[in-house]
Chains A and B, each alone.
Chain A
Amino acid sequence: AQSVTQLGSHVSVSEGALVLLRCNYSSSVPPYLFWYVQYPNQGLQLLLKYTSAATLVKGINGFEAEFKKSETSFHLTKPSAHMSDAAEYFCAVPSTSGGSYIPTFGRGTSLIVHP
């Protein structure tokens, strides 16, 4: 079954600095990859999705992710961090369940933004 690994449970950056959150997928090339964001005590919101149409995917709030097959990676980046970006970020890959795809989530990375 497909899975994703998120390196680093916490990432701390200064406001205005580059944000890099790492995600690596296992085994074969997945048909889709997702990044979700979760603000405190809230559900998950889709940031962006990879569908093999393009390796560089742009999402909401200035985030983007690049699919690199050679590195089995789908890292999330943002050029300049904002205080409001502080949240939990989850990488996800679809797993088949009952004939349909269900997201399987990584362990999450907590983004901390310092003033």
Chain B
Amino acid sequence: GAVVSQHPSRVICKSGTSVKIECRSLDFQATTMFWYRQFPKQSLMLMATSNEGSKATYEQGVEKDKFLINHASLTLSTLTVTSAHPEDSSFYICSARVQGAGANVLTFGAGSRLTVL
């Protein structure tokens, strides 16, 4: 079946540094990928829609300059948290829609837990 791979699964960084998270579709092409953020014991919040070859579409309230999204190929989207601060600590999950899966089903990556010290 379709697999979405995220890397790294866990990352710890110092405040003020930038962190890049990769999201890859392993056996299918994804023209669109979605980035979610999840706080502890809470639901997923859609941050942005990543579109291959064009600019990402950000949800209201999400800082574009803080969360840089690049979707340079049909199998890779990256999320860069710039100048990270402790409040950016969270679980970030990417997903992609698999053609033919039907009913707008998304396939999710395993998530990346970011801890900013």
Contact = CB atoms under 8 A, between A and B. Distances in A.
Contacts of A36: 108
Interface of A: 9, 32, 34, 36, 41-46, 49, 51, 90, 94, 97-98, 100-108, 110
Contacts of B41: 9, 108, 110
Interface string B51-64: 00000010000000
B34 interface: yes
A41 B93 CA distance: 10
A100 B111 CA distance: 23
Contact of A32 (B34, B104, B111): B104
B99 to A, nearest CB: 12
Interface in B102-117: 102-111, 113
A105 B105 contact: no
Contact of B42 (A44, A49, A97, A107): A107
Contacts of B97: 100
B105 A46 contact: yes
A108 B106 CA distance: 17
Given A41-B111, A94-B104, 4 more contacts: A43-B110, A49-B105, A97-B57, A100-B97
A104 B91 CA distance: 17
B4 interface: yes
B78 interface: no
Question: Looking at A44, A97, A103, A104, which has the most chain B CB atoms within 10 Å of its CB?
Answer: A44
Nearest to B108: A43
